Amino acid sequence: MINFDNLWALFAFYGLNALYAFVLLGLGWWLARFIERWLLRLAGRSRHVDPTIADFLASLMRYLVLAVVVIAVLQIFGIQTTSLVAVLGAASLAIGLALQGTLSNLAAGVMLLIFRPFKIGDAVEVAGKAGTVRSLSLFMTELVTPANVQVLLPNGSVWGAAIVNTSTYPGLAKMELTFPAPAGPAGEDLARDIVAALKADPRLAPGAEPSVAVSKLVDLSKPGAGVVELTVTAAVATADVGAVKTALMQRINASMGRLTAGGLASDAPAS
């Protein structure tokens, strides 16, 4: 025979627990969303907090609140959460060990977004690469080289390397480039060609005069075929130093190629 008194007591007990659980879930969901929006508004008032790191921290706090609420709901129904938390902790440790490279990039991305050693649009040299910062996410840093080539760097390698930011102190900087050149008239022609190319470059500082001088005598043992070291100096905008130096190296390489071809042609026997 059915005992309706016991059945009603069980229904009332578990029904009230279910009601409490739904109320707690609703309040927890509302609280998680409220904290997320509050953190985003707080971060939006500061110019020093990157939107990416603000979104990440706000979402992280939201899911932490929801996790606490779910554990509290399970305890309402008498489910022991100690073993569940232990299993989740062990699983998190295993996942962390398996993704330690990715997590190190994530941690480095958080540090880069917090301390901001560079910002979007800065000209930087980092991890052996040079270019303009196009974007910075939690995992990757994107650079664009002067040749318009995309370079993607893991944040772990960026944070762990020396960062040269040529855009931090705007103004003029001295661009200096040293290279070997033939001694004598050929080297003088090359120096004049370099000076003319620099004067025609619009990125050169107005009124600045570039110079090319012999900085070292490398080998003068062979008459007519000696080698000296030339040093080029010019005043350019700090952000344009890398681009001007790259263009100048390409010009020097082309000029040296013409000199070599001319020398080979002159050395060839007359027919």
For the entire predicted model, the pTM comes to 0.50
Output the CA torsion sign for 6, 12, 15, 17: negative
What is the share, in percent, of the chain residues with pLDDT greater than 70? 79
Give residue 5's pLDDT: 57
Residue predicted with more confidence, 187 or 6: 187
Q: How far apart are CA 245 and CA 228, in angstroms?
A: 20
Q: Are 182 and 226 in contact (CB under 8 A)?
A: yes
Span 133-162, average pLDDT: 89
Through-space distance between the first and last CA atoms of the chain, rounded to whole angstroms:
125
Write out pLDDT tens, residues 153-209. Answer: 999 899 988 898 877 777 777 888 898 888 888 888 888 888 888 888 888 888 778
How crowded is residue 249: how many other Cβ atoms within 10 Å of its Cβ?
Answer: 13
Give residue 269's pLDDT: 37
Instruction: Determine which helix (DSSP H) or strand (DSSP E) holds 184, and give its type and residue range.
Output: none
Give residue 153's pLDDT: 93
141 forms bridges with which residues in the sheet? 136, 153
Residue predicted with more confidence, 37 or 96: 37
Write out pLDDT tens, residues 67-92. Answer: 888 888 877 777 666 766 676 777 76
Q: Are 233 and 191 in contact (CB under 8 A)?
A: no
219 forms bridges with which residues in the sheet? 227
